């Protein structure tokens, strides 16, 4: 199968195909443009978040949570830089190549239309227009020759100006015969042109178009492969960042978390004051005993309760 063999009479279909492909490429371009924009915005947000978080007051002791969190922030900042770099790479790489491909495809369509029109115009001229003109002239010269012949016969019959009429008849006949030969040669040329157009020129143009279409399809595949590679969230850089974040979180040790805090705020043990009965309370009492429970009729009920 091929354009030259199977699509000789599918010019309008080929134009629709190229229009559809151009629309698809424009859609891909818009998508990539939005992806670059969103990745840049995402990177900017990550960097802004890390900058604001870094302003938080640091603890005055060594904390596994604090150390892990600081590492998470640093790696998030690294992720922001990676995403920003990837967005720049998308913009300067696949997106730029795609814009060039669209321009090339537009030029291919324009060139194909122009060459197709030239071939069709030339073929129509040789196989139709020129022949129609010759046929019209042929009919006119045939009428002229017949008229000259009739006038020559009349001149012979009348015996007047026969020689002059003969000259006009010969001249008209010569024009007709020469045009006849010209028409026959034009027919041969038209058949040759028709065969050349059908067998070579038109198929060659279509096959050339197919090769360019296939080359541009290959170029698009290469562009999308590069896009997938750059935009992937599984690149070595991004995977490493997330591995570092995960490792930092695993460094949080509840058992060791407060060891440095204890060391920083450790206080010496001080003797507690002795708790004694204040004997000054007994100075105005009737010999109440210190440090002893009173059991009498006045306290029995409350003590039993």
User: Do the domain assignments include residue 161?
Assistant: yes
User: Do the domain assignments include residue 252?
Assistant: yes
179 vs 145, 173, 182, 206, CA distance in Å?
12, 10, 5, 37
Q: CATH number, domain at 51?
A: 1.20.1270.60
Question: For the chain, what is the domain count?
Answer: 1
User: Do the domain assignments include residue 301?
Assistant: no
Q: How far apart are CA 20 and CA 13, in angstroms?
A: 10
Which token pair is 185? 């040669």
Residue ranges in 55-161 assigned as alpha helix (H): 64-90, 96-124, 130-158
**Maximum Cα–Cα distance for the chain, whole Å?**
193
Q: How far apart are CA 62 and CA 50, in angstroms?
A: 21
| pLDDT per residue rounded down to tens, the chain (305 residues) | 889 889 888 999 999 999 999 999 999 999 999 999 999 999 999 999 988 876 666 666 678 888 888 899 999 999 999 999 999 999 999 999 999 999 999 999 999 999 999 999 999 999 999 999 999 999 999 999 999 999 888 888 887 788 888 999 899 999 999 999 999 999 999 999 999 999 999 999 999 999 999 999 999 999 999 999 999 988 899 999 999 999 999 999 998 888 888 888 888 888 888 888 888 887 777 778 888 888 888 778 787 76
Residue 26 lies in domain: 3-267
Query: Model's pTM, two decimal places?
Result: 0.75
């Amino acid at each position: 199968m091929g354009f030259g063999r199977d699509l000789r009479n599918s010019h309008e279909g080929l134009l629709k195909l190229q229009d559809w492909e151009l629309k698809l490429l424009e859609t891909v371009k818009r998508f990539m443009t939005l992806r670059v924009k969103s990745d840049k915005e995402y990177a900017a947000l990550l960097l802004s978040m890390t900058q604001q978080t870094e302003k938080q007051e640091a603890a005055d002791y060594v904390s596994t949570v604090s150390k892990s969190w600081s590492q998470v922030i640093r790696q998030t900042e690294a992720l922001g830089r990676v995403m920003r770099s990837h967005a720049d790479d998308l913009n300067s790489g696949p997106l730029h190549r795609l814009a060039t491909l669209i321009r090339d495809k537009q030029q291919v369509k324009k060139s194909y239309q122009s060459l197709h029109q030239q071939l069709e115009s030339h073929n129509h001229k040789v196989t139709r227009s020129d022949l129609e003109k010759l046929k019209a002239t042929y009919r006119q010269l045939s009428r002229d020759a017949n008229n000259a012949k009739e006038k020559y016969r009349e001149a012979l019959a009348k015996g007047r100006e026969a020689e002059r009429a003969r000259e006009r008849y010969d001249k008209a006949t010569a024009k007709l015969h020469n045009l006849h030969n010209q028409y026959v040669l034009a027919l041969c040329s038209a058949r040759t042109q028709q065969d050349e157009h059908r067998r070579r020129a038109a198929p060659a143009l279509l096959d050339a178009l197919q090769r360019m279409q296939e080359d541009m399809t290959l170029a698009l595949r290469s562009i999308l492969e590069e896009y997938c590679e750059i935009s992937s969230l599984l690149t070595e850089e991004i995977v490493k960042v997330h591995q570092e974040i995960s490792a930092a979180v695993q460094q949080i040790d509840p058992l060791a978390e407060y060891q440095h805090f204890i060391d920083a705020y450790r206080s010496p043990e001080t003797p507690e004051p002795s708790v004694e009965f204040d004997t000054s309370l007994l100075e105005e009492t009737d010999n109440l005993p210190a440090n002893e429970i009173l059991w009498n009729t006045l306290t029995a009920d409350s003590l039993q309760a």
